[in-house]
Structure 1
Amino acid sequence: MDVAVGSENPVKVAAVERAFERFDPAVTAVGVDSGVPEQPRSVAETVAGAETRAARALAAAEADLGVGLEGGVARFEGAPGLHLIMWAAVTDGERVGRGGGPSLRLPDRVAARIEAGEELGPVMDDLLGTEDVARNEGAAGALTAGLTDREAALREAVACALGPFVTNHYG
């Protein structure tokens, strides 16, 4: 199975490889634009970014499936605070599967900076004294003391988006 990932970020590529591993995939990373702001600020923007990445990756590579992954932030009714969210989309050019990964409440001091217009990655790098946390453990890893990390969270989103392609329950 040939799979195109709409990102060259090694964490996103590894997440797709792990989600597809039982299918022995050939995974190709394709740098594409998400079509949404660098910091998506709602579920709708985050899902749209994942869908756009999946479609553009499929169009740019000779693959059976295109996969898009997008991280964003959102507020949820009934749950206090601003949350980190992750969404994936998988497409074969006709069908689209969508799946969300875990959500994680951001610390208030991080949320305040994001709501003032900053992006999560640089805010986390500043908080942690690191560089490019998004290409490593991500905010998910840092904020859970490694109980999960960005790759695992993104892998779960991809696994959920694969449902329509690996079962007949969506017919």
Structure 2
Amino acid sequence: MEIAVGSTNPVKIEAVERTLERYEPAVVAVGVDSGVSEQPRSVAETVSGAENRARRALAATDADYGVGLEGGVARLEGVPGLSLIMWGATTDGDRVERGGGPTLRLPDEVADRVADGAELGPMMDDLLGTAGVAEAEGAAGVLTAGLTDRTRALGEAVACSFGPFVTDTYEGGP
């Protein structure tokens, strides 16, 4: 099974490899445009970015599946503050399935800066005095003291968007 990932970010590639390892996938990274802003600011925009990445990665290759992953921020009904969200999309060229990863509330200082226009990854680097947090543990790892990290969090979005293709529970499954 060959899977095209719509990103060259090593964390996103590892999330796909780890999550789908039982299928022994050949994973190819494809740099594609998400078609959304660098910092998606709603569920709809984040999902759209994941869908675009999945479709564009598949279209650029001869892979069996395209997978797109996108992180964003959103205000969620019934949840105080601004939340970090992660979404995945998987396509086989005929259908697209979507799945969400973990969601966590951003600390007020972080949320305020993101609400003022900052992009989460670079802003976290600035706050922590680091470089490349988005290609390492990510905000999810920092904000949970390592209880999860960006790879595992994105892996959940991969599992939830890829699952319908490998179970007969959904119409169009294996």
TM range (shorter): over 0.9
Deviation at 1:132, TM superposition (A): 1.2
Which of structure 1's runs of 4+ aligned residues deviate more than 2 A? none
The TM-score normalised by the length of structure 1 is 0.99
Structure 2 Cα separation of the partners of residues 121 and 76 of structure 1: 20
Letter in 2 for 1:160: C
The TM-score normalised by the length of structure 2 is 0.97
Structure 1 Cα separation of the partners of residues 81 and 99 of structure 2: 22
Deviation at 1:164, TM superposition (A): 1.5
* Partner residue, 2:111: 111
Letter in 2 for 1:28: V
Q: Is the counterpart of residue 135 in structure 1 residue 135 in structure 2?
A: yes
Q: Is the counterpart of residue 29 in structure 1 residue 34 in structure 2?
A: no
* Partner residue, 1:70: 70
Structure 2 Cα separation of the partners of residues 170 and 163 of structure 1: 9
Structure 2 Cα separation of the partners of residues 134 and 6 of structure 1: 16
* Partner residue, 2:13: 13
* Partner residue, 1:51: 51
* Partner residue, 1:150: 150
* Partner residue, 2:89: 89
Q: Secondary structure at the match of 2:142?
A: helix
Letter in 1 for 2:36: V
Report % sequence identity.
Answer: 74
Deviation at 1:5, TM superposition (A): 0.1
Deviation at 1:169, TM superposition (A): 1.4
Deviation at 1:117, TM superposition (A): 0.6
Structure 1 Cα separation of the partners of residues 41 and 132 of structure 2: 20
Q: Secondary structure at the match of 2:82?
A: strand
The root-mean-square deviation of aligned C-alpha atoms, in Å, is 0.5
Q: Secondary structure at the match of 1:3?
A: strand
Deviation at 1:83, TM superposition (A): 0.4
Q: What stretches of structure 1 of length at least 5 have no aligned partner?
A: none
Greater mean alpha carbon deviation, residues 131-140 or residues 160-169: 160-169
Per-residue CA deviations over 1:44-94 (Å, capped at 9, x if unaligned) read 000000000000000011100000000000011111010000000000000
Q: What stretches of structure 2 of length at least 5 have no aligned partner?
A: none
